[in-house]
Structure 1
Amino acid sequence: MSTAESAPLTWFKSSYSGNEGGECLEAAVTPGAIHVRDSKVPARAELTVSATEWAAFVRFAVGR
């Protein structure tokens, strides 16, 4: 494992997420991968996908 891979992830929530404690996802971006987790349970396992897979998901989600 390289040093970059072992560095802590920097998580962020969408600017569309409020502070009401609702159902939000957080994402962290690393070279070549996007990590996604449940903001309510950050210790739970995260989902990691390639940047290419993430782009395909976003295109699907916005209908383009």
Structure 2
Amino acid sequence: MGEWDERLMTLVDDVLGADEERLPLPPQAEARDTIEPLRLLGDSRAGGAFTAGHLASRPARCLPSAG
């Protein structure tokens, strides 16, 4: 994991660990639209690719398949 990913994962951990009111979940279509760019970045070798793949994987498994 590179420096970008380490910094981004720290931010993600901070957000997930925050004791604040959570926002409502987005509609399925919006969630899918958000996951796709994260998945593409996760498949690349760019800085933040590991974090993007990590952020895309869990919600993608929870969504029903688009069919």
- TM-score class, shorter-chain normalisation, is 0.3 to 0.5
TM-score by length of 1: 0.33
Greater RCO (Cα-Cα under 8 Å, separation 6 or more): 2
Question: Quick check: which one's helix share is greater?
Answer: 2
